[in-house]
Amino acid sequence: MGRQPPELAELRRALGRQLATLREAAGLYQTDIARAVPCHRTTVTHAEAGSQLADADFWETADSANGALIGQYDAFIQAREAHKTDKRVARRARARSELATLPPNGGLITPPTATPNDLRVAVWQGTSLKDGDEHDALELARRVAASDVSAETLGRLENMVDELAVMYPKTPPQELLDSVRRHISYVMRLIDARKTLDEHRRLLIVGGWLSLIAATLYIDLEQRAAANSWLATTASLAKQAGQSEIYAWRYETEAWQVLTDGDYHHAVDLSQAAQQLAPRSSSAAIQATAQEGRAWARLGKSKETYDALKRVEEYVSRMARPETPEHHYRYDPDKAEAYVATTLAWLGDVASEHHARRVVATFTHESEAGRWPRRLASANIDLALALLLADCLDEACAVAQASMLSGRLVASNHWRALEVVRTVESRSLPEAPELREAYELMRQGSDSS
């Protein structure tokens, strides 16, 4: 969750103080409220401290006869939704404005291509070069060729980008972020060093990839301001280096961010922009298409959702499995089915169960070999949603609980787990309190890490 403005934070704290006041006046303990809701006692603690907002069912149960709590809760929700709407309108306006200014190639600098006309003779406008001019020309050529950045250093940095992208699916975000920041700091020092034009461009590309990885990690950690800053840096470096692939990944990454925020129309816009910028049939193009399908599913648009899934299937049918499928920026055919499972579950299609079971089986095997433990945790959430659609309620609760207690579900995916919890609670299943407790423990573990 992004940082809320002070006025919303104060409304949330005031609601918590009111709960504590009414509870104490009635001679009740926090455990009494927890049993009545039902929920874990820490939920009541966080609610009274104003550090976490419980859902409407919590406040209705904890409310006194005069309706003071539910009235304050409703006022907070209205203020929060108004704030979100203002932010989304402003963000979409900025995005549309930026997209409207992009020419067909995304505004990227195209590296010059040598032609016979570029091979100049030592004559300009009919005037021969003098000896001093010739010396200046040679000195310029010497300085351009001089460099304090070795080819070995650049090669190692480029390899490190690939290593970080491979580590992403199996490394805790904060741990990987520390390594990414160290490499970004080193690249920043090299930017000021003497180097050739080609070396400068290679360094910009390395910086672009590192900035993109940093933005992705900040999204996983739900630190929106930092993520947006690194996305902007990614775009700037990609444009300067003439790298349309990085630029496309930047839009795809932001599409995922706004999708988790619930701005599904904006996610569609960004996904489609990424597809326009991405090299044809590239990993960025496939991922952006899959992201578009997920956004359409959240909007309940069946036709558009199935169309996006079909396009992904056509892309994947022509591609071979990459040598390093763990690489976050190299699309893996196994990943495609995981996206199908998620998308169909969000759309409410019962076929999602078949796909989700296959994905879980695949990632369980891979996880035993030390690969994709985070993908397995996410796949289990998809399976839980699919099982709820099929009314396999006991298995759905068990699968969701295992995923939440695995320690592998990153903060940016907690909202998906919460959907399962709320669905189980809405059906008044006996497993609901235990599942809610697992969710709260997961959130607490994330906050303390």
Cα-Cα-Cα-Cα dihedral sign, residues 329, 332, 335, 337: positive
What stretches in the chain show pLDDT beneath 50?
1-2, 107, 109-131, 135, 138, 142
Residues 6 or more apart whose Cβ sits within 8 Å of residue 227: 215, 216, 218, 219, 257
What DSSP string describes 11-38? HHHHHHHHHHHHHHHTT--HHHHHHHTT
Are residues 105 and 244 in contact, defined by beta-carbon separation less than 8 angstroms? yes
Structure tokens at 367: 């996880």
Q: In this predicted structure, what is the pLDDT of residue 100?
A: 61
Q: Do the beta carbons of residue 412 and residue 219 sit within 8 Å?
A: yes
Q: Give the C-alpha separation, 400 to 309, whole Å.
A: 25
Report pLDDT digits (tens) over 149-166. 888 888 999 999 999 999
Per-residue pLDDT, 99 = 60
Pairing state of beta strands 123-124 and 127-128?
A: antiparallel
pLDDT at 77: 84
Q: Where are the domains positioned within the chain?
A: 6-89, 146-242, 332-449
Burial class (CB in 10 A: 0-12, 13-18, 19+), 123: exposed
Is 3.30.1490.120 the CATH number for 6-89? no
> Quick one: how far is CA 315 from the chain centroid?
22
